[in-house]
Homo-oligomer: A and B are copies of this chain.
């Protein structure tokens, strides 16, 4: 079975790749688990961190907006596609044209290449709670009324996944993700990036800035749970998903204050005191349009679980990314 990950050099793409190389199987076209014998990681740039030397892995650099490149990537051998390549929220807000090019046209290129290849591959599309538009609480029936270009582009992607699936061109599935915390590495241009920075940076001895009110709540999910969600939704029975292929993933909903309290509890005062408040009205306004609470019955029915606590998320980050130690 050949599997393609677009955005394969990104944080989630890389983590999923490592997980797929280790578990080595996914549900194939006939509904049974199949061995992955080829894993193609496509991105605009070479992976920053080295990948395992594994004959199944192929790295391809290219532009998701180039339909010929995407046609060459998703071929008649491809049974699974994870489409992660995207301009994130802050980037799509700052560069309107680039956001539509990558997030809308890039997504259509993936769908068209998959359709042309003729095998009706399973495609997992990553959406975001940014598709909502200001409700405090959301569930599987909430209308999508996004207030950012990124949210609009993700909502359009969900509609396209549904339509291409209905027509039998692809077997699409959308996972609507909470904010991923703790993202390792350098900040990206996501407006939500600070939610990771305020935990990640202090644990590594660096100062960090919190741009929003400490009473602001965020729906968060760890990278490990997100990767499990991608595999779960890829493997889910198509009939269980029905005509709306989007599943809203549940998360936990700490306030920023509670996140910093958990950091203090896990790592002590010296670490927690490295965070200072510097209100940013643009970030606050973007984050205010995102829901605080999600009640996703469909995700629960598919067995997708959120993290138990912020403490668990912080400890996973320390173990997975910092080798079990942090800087006091």
Contact A163 B141 (CB under 8 A): no
A289 closest partner in B (C-beta)? B243
In the bound complex, do residue B142 and residue A152 qualify as a contact, i.e. CB atoms below 8 Å apart?
A: no
A96 within 8 A of B: yes
Which of the residues B133, B143, B147 comes within 8 Å of A142, measured between beta carbons? B143
Could you tell me if A152 and B159 are in contact, using CB atoms closer than 8 angstroms? Answer: yes
B143 x A167 contact (CB < 8 A): no
> A224 interface residue, CB < 8 Å from B?
no
The answer, among B96, B146, B162, B167, for a CB contact under 8 Å with A167, is B96
A145 touches B244 (CB 8 A): yes
Which of chain B's residues have a CB closer than 8 A to the CB of A147?
166, 243
- Once the chains are docked, how many angstroms separate the CA of A308 from the CA of B274? 67
Contact across chains for B96 and A133 when beta carbons are under 8 A apart: no
Residues 103-157 of A contacting B (Cβ, < 8 Å): 133, 141-147, 149, 152, 155-156
A167 proximity list for chain B (CB < 8 A)? 96, 149
Residue with the greatest number of chain B CB neighbours at <10 A, chosen from A159, A160, A244: A159
* Known contacts A141-B143, A143-B143; A163/B152 CB under 8 A: yes
CA distance in complex: A52, B159 (Å): 42
Contact yes or no, B149 A155, CB < 8 A: no
Q: What is the chain B residue whose CB lies nearest that of A166?
A: B147
| Interface range, A side | 20 to 34
Q: Are B143 and A152 in contact (CB under 8 A)?
A: no
Chain B minimum-CB-distance residue to A96: B167
B163 touches A133 (CB 8 A): no
Bound Cα distance A145, B243 (Å)? 9
Q: For the complex, what is the distance from the CA of A142 to the CA of B143, rounded to whole Å?
A: 6
Q: Mark A209-245, 1 if CB is under 8 A from B, else 0.
A: 0000000000000000000000000000000000110
Fill in one digit per residue for A144-188: 1 if any B CB lies within 8 Å of its CB, else 0.
111101001001100110110011000000000000000000000
Q: Nearest residue in B to A115 (C-beta to C-beta)?
A: B96
Which residues between 73 and 117 of chain A lie within 8 Å of chain B, taking CB atoms?
96
- Partner of A144 from B143, B160, B166 at Cβ < 8 Å: B143
Minimum-distance CB pairs A-B, first 10? A143-B143, A152-B163, A152-B159, A156-B156, A149-B163, A145-B244, A155-B159, A156-B159, A141-B143, A96-B167
* 20 A-B residue pairs with CB within 8 Å: A96-B167, A133-B243, A133-B244, A143-B144, A144-B144, A144-B159, A145-B243, A145-B244, A146-B163, A147-B243, A149-B163, A149-B167, A152-B159, A152-B160, A152-B162, A152-B163, A155-B159, A156-B156, A156-B159, A156-B160
